[in-house]
Chain A
Amino acid sequence: MSVGAILCSLVVVSARNPVVSVLSLLGSFVCLAVIYLLAGFQFMAAAQLLVYAGAIMVLFLFVIMLLNLGTSEEQNGPIDRTLLRARRIPIVFAIGAAVFLLTLFGIETQQTIMEVDPELAERGVSSMSGLAELMFSTYLLPFEAASVLLLSATIAVIVLAKRGRTELATDASAEVTQ
């Protein structure tokens, strides 16, 4: 798992195509989630996959596609390279999927852990409730603050990404005159 994570992150930083980077980061996340599982923190693993891999990386992909950054500027090489790279993507996908499936099977090892440490199994079950307990008692304030943060971030994102009024006006007038 660790090796997988490391390899993926290396690809993240060195890939030319941003899409490749995003996908390998996804792979890295998956490896990490598996590691969390192995450590007995199921909630963490689930949260990581859901939020990180599911939402954030998708967001990144959206933006990359929106801004059409698939082809980076330094690279204006021959089409074969592009084709080559294009071919690389399914390969990465395949590897990633394999890894994932393997680790799903590796959950069996959790039973190994449970053999070694029986209390860990119980702990694992109650970790969710334990987390919930903590969240709503000791860490209540950060929890609420976090919700405020999310709200403000949403507003900020909307404001930032909104087109300026003049842009809107010119666009509108351009549309009208056309």
Chain B
Amino acid sequence: MTVPNEHILFLAAILFSIGVCGFFIRRNTIMVLLSVELMLNAANLTFIAGSRMHSTAAQAELSGPIFAIFVILVAAVEAGVGLALVIALFRRKQTVSLDQLNELGD
């Protein structure tokens, strides 16, 4: 049973929207970063699906996976830097709750 391409794209879409909701809803900064990772994963899935769609019997389209690798790489970098920022922030404010991180408040 071959998984049809549309299903994969559909899944990617759902995952992405879930990640977006998490990004907006969560109060904890780290949860926000986590949702970002989820979104990136959905993007990777899309790339893979695309590669699958455009591969012919003769020649496999490999720019999909390559791009996905780069995405993973960038996601790693971003997670690292983001977490470093969170640590620094925590040192200053003793909290990572977004509500209490608001210095511009009314």
Contact = CB atoms under 8 A, between A and B. Distances in A.
Do A and B have CB atoms closer than 8 angstroms in the complex?
Answer: yes
Interface of A: 2, 5-6, 9-10, 12-13, 18, 21-22, 25, 28-29, 32, 35-36, 38-41, 43-44, 47-48, 51-52, 55-56, 59-60, 63-64, 66-67, 69, 72-74, 109, 112-113, 116-117, 119, 123, 126-127, 130-131, 134-135, 139, 142, 146, 149-150, 153-154, 156-158, 160-161, 163, 167
A72 B51 CA distance: 41
Contacts of B84: 156-158, 160-161
Main secondary structure of the interface of B (DSSP, over half): helix
4 shortest interchain CB distances as A-B pairs: A13-B22, A160-B84, A153-B77, A157-B84
Contacts, number: 163
Contact of B80 (A59, A113, A134): A59
Interface residues of B, number: 60
A36 B8 CA distance: 10
Interface of B: 1-3, 7-8, 11, 14-15, 18-19, 21-22, 25-28, 30-31, 33-35, 37-38, 41, 44-45, 48-49, 51-52, 55, 57, 60, 62-63, 65-66, 68-70, 72-77, 79-81, 83-88, 90-91, 95-97
